[in-house]
Amino acid sequence: MLFTAAACASALAYARPSDASPQDLFGYGGRACAMGGLSGAIGDDYASVHGNPAALSRAREIAFSLGYQGAGFLLSQQRSGSDPRHVAQDASRGTVIGLALPLPFGGVLRERIVIGLGFYTPTDVVVRGRILRPETEQFLMLSDRTQTVAIQAGIGVALPWGFRIGGGFVALAAIRGSVVIAQDSTGRVGSRVDNQLVTSYAPVVGATFERGIVRSSVTFRGTSVGRFAVTIEARDIGLPLPAFNISGIAQYDPWQIAGEAGVQLEGWSLIAGLTFKRWSEYPGPLERTTERSPEPPRPATSDTFVPRFGFEKEWARRTQRWSLRGGYFYEPSPLPSRTESANYLDNDRHVVTLGGAVSAVWRGTRAGLELWSQVHVLSPRDFSDGTVALDMAPPTITARGVIVAAGLHTTVTF
């Protein structure tokens, strides 16, 4: 038993992180995911809890949405002088639930305040933080980042003169626990495991402005951190073992400011946006295992700017509506080409998005269907092996890959 516990502690010495939420990787909601992650300036449904809570105030009827989305990761790395090697990465699958609820006030508050709720739940796990030594090649910013439960809520308020404001929060799942190894009353060594699911919160606030055909918005999202922390402690077993602290960051979204501007005219919506992400404050995925352990390697990440473009064309005829959507965004990597004592990999991503929607009214109820797809092309990038001193001509590691994602959402409006 003691040998098993020690082996587990050694295996847990380093953690493979999950460094961002699925909303940050793909977007949230069928419209945003199909339009390059843009929805703050023109959003009008539950997905605005992430895009811009102020846009919730555009909803005029109660709407319930249910969706399913998934993604496949085709990632590879190649050391100089060797053949390319596939990097295993589990496919992502999850369900999306959303609700937009206009509050039935009268007078000056009539059709001005709307509450929104949004949920993302992976089909296989609640939150995942896997163990992997830092010298092993790993895609730091893509590892399991879609494998966590996310809860979002917000409220939007319509103001005079075309202004709207809103606020809310994003909650990510995290894990805390302990393993205690001790002797029982019979002198046998046993263990007691205690795990707890906890939640971390981050604020989301935004404002929009519309005048004529012009639409604009600005959104602030706070730093969202989901940590895992498990302590392993041996008591009264005859060996002076230190307490092992198996902890790190399971999910991380840097604080960010997103601005959007565009026009809506004759069924067309043309939107452009720019998102600033404060990656320079990323503390790294790992924490010390014991008090005497060396400081884990920390990647010297830098801030990034993400340009986005999206369009939508809508056709309406009697009780039916159709729309075609598309977009593009460029996500530069915040990771340097070498992290000392670690082989963290990440690539710039060119992302093309496409989707559409159709809806119809039947007996006073509108039912709609949305489909979106994304192709993320990871630009080939060379890294220096961080476990070899630079004066020894470290080998080069070339990372590349493709991510394919898609989703289907249904909405019923009452």
* 98 burial level (CB within 10 Å; 0-12, 13-18, 19+): buried
pLDDT for 170 beyond 90 = yes
Ramachandran angles phi, psi of 146, nearest 5°: -95, 5
CA proximity to 253, closest of 358, 172, 348, 182 = 172
pLDDT value at 41 more than 90: yes
Joined tokens for residue 336: 């340097």
Counting other chains too, the contacts that 102-108 makes at CB distance below 8 Å and 24 or more residues apart are: 102/59, 102/60, 102/61, 102/62
The count of structural domains within the chain is 1
* Residue 4 burial (CB count, 10 A): 10
CATH of the domain at 114: 2.40.160.60
The CA distance from 227 to 232, in Å, is 17
What gap in Å lies between CA 119 and CA 151, rounded to an integer?
5
Distance CA 211, CA 100 (A): 24
Whether 8 shows a pLDDT value over 70: the answer reads no
Query: How confident is the model over 288-294, as a mean pLDDT?
Result: 77
Both tokens of 144, joined, read 């399991």
Of residues 134 and 166, more confidence is placed in 166
Among 112-116, 240-244, 327-331, the minimum mean pLDDT is found in: 240-244
Q: Who wins on pLDDT, 132 or 411?
A: 411
Q: What is the pLDDT of residues 317-356, one digit of tens each?
A: 988 999 999 999 999 999 999 998 899 999 999 999 999 9
Both tokens of 141, joined, read 């910013």
Cα 328 to the chain's mean position, in Å? 18
Compute the average pLDDT of residues 46-60: 96
- Which residue range forms the structural domain that includes residue 37? 2-413
pLDDT on residue 321:
96
